[in-house]
Amino acid sequence: MAILTIEGLGNKLLMKENACCIDWLEEVLHLLDKKAIANFFTNLWTSWNNQNNLIFRGKEDNARLVWEKAKSFSNEFHIHNLVNNPLILTALTYQLWKKPPRGFIKVNFDAAVAQNRTGYGVVMGDEDSFVIGGSGGFKDADLTRERAEIYAFEESVKLARTMNFSKGVFETDYASLANRANKRDLDITIMGMQIKENFNSMDNFNFVSIS
């Protein structure tokens, strides 16, 4: 506990005897402010790690070195930003379902890759935000993010072709795919050709866009 007496924390955290560790931690929370609490728990974690090194490796650092490690840890990884305002504030963005123009359907699609499998999901809505269709599925393939999104796009196109609409808006949260799709006439890559083929397959649509 010598670590807690270094650089200002003082003996007041050690004066009282407690039957349980949780009681002691509760008292600490009543004594210290937010920033001091962050430093306290960093010191506590570093001390615990030091004890593990002693038990499993037979090596133990002195109190001053443990405290210096905790201080370095806080400074390098900016743990204090968890309780104080960051230097660069996070810009919050809110995404809401936006109705498509009248006479259009809106097709939202997404993909995810995990444990050598790729999954996709598609939701289709009309101009009144009424869900008129959807699909989802998996394939046993470990695809890159971009190829997974193209896979989801292909499945969403298949679903859209079954609907009796002539205008559609496709929406994805993957900007790279949207940019490729909007510049498909200039994209000569394999992925660019795949995207172009999907657009060409929607011959029953008079207008199609992707964003």
* Span 97-123, average pLDDT: 82
Q: In angstroms, what CA-CA distances link 44 with 27, 54, 103, 152, 199?
A: 15, 15, 62, 47, 59
Q: Is the pLDDT of residue 89 over 70?
A: no
3-state secondary structure string across the chain: CHHHHCCCCCHHHCCCCCCCHHHHHHHHHHHCCHHHHHHHHHHHHHHHHHHHHHHHHCCCCCHHHHHHHHHHHHHHHCHHHHCCCCCCCCCCCCCCCCCCCCCCEEEEEEEEEECCEEEEEEEEECCCCCEEEEEEEEECCCCCHHHHHHHHHHHHHHHHHCCCCCEEEEECCCHHHHHHHHCCCCCCCHHHHHHHHHHHCCCCCCEEEEC
Residue pair 191/146 in contact by the 8 Å Cβ criterion: yes
CATH superfamily, domain at 105-210: Ribonuclease H-like superfamily/Ribonuclease H (3.30.420.10)
Please tell me which residue, 105 or 5, carries the higher pLDDT value: 105
For the chain, what is the mean pLDDT? Answer: 74
- Return the number of other C-beta atoms located less than 10 Å from residue 151's C-beta: 21
* Span 66-79, average pLDDT: 64
Residue 175 identity: A
The residue among 69, 70, 5, 85 whose CA lies nearest residue 38 is 70
Alpha carbon 167 to its chain centroid, in Å, reads 33
Q: Is the pLDDT of residue 114 over 60?
A: yes
pLDDT tens figures, 184-209:
776 677 777 777 777 777 776 766 67
* Span 76-90, average pLDDT: 55
The residue ranges of every structural domain in the chain are 2-82, 105-210
Distance (Å, whole) CA 118 – CA 155: 13
Sheet holding 207-210, edge to edge: 131-139, 117-125, 105-114, 167-171, 207-210
14 — pLDDT class (breaks 50, 70, 90): low
87 — pLDDT class (breaks 50, 70, 90): low
The three-point CA angle 22-26-32 to 5° equals 135
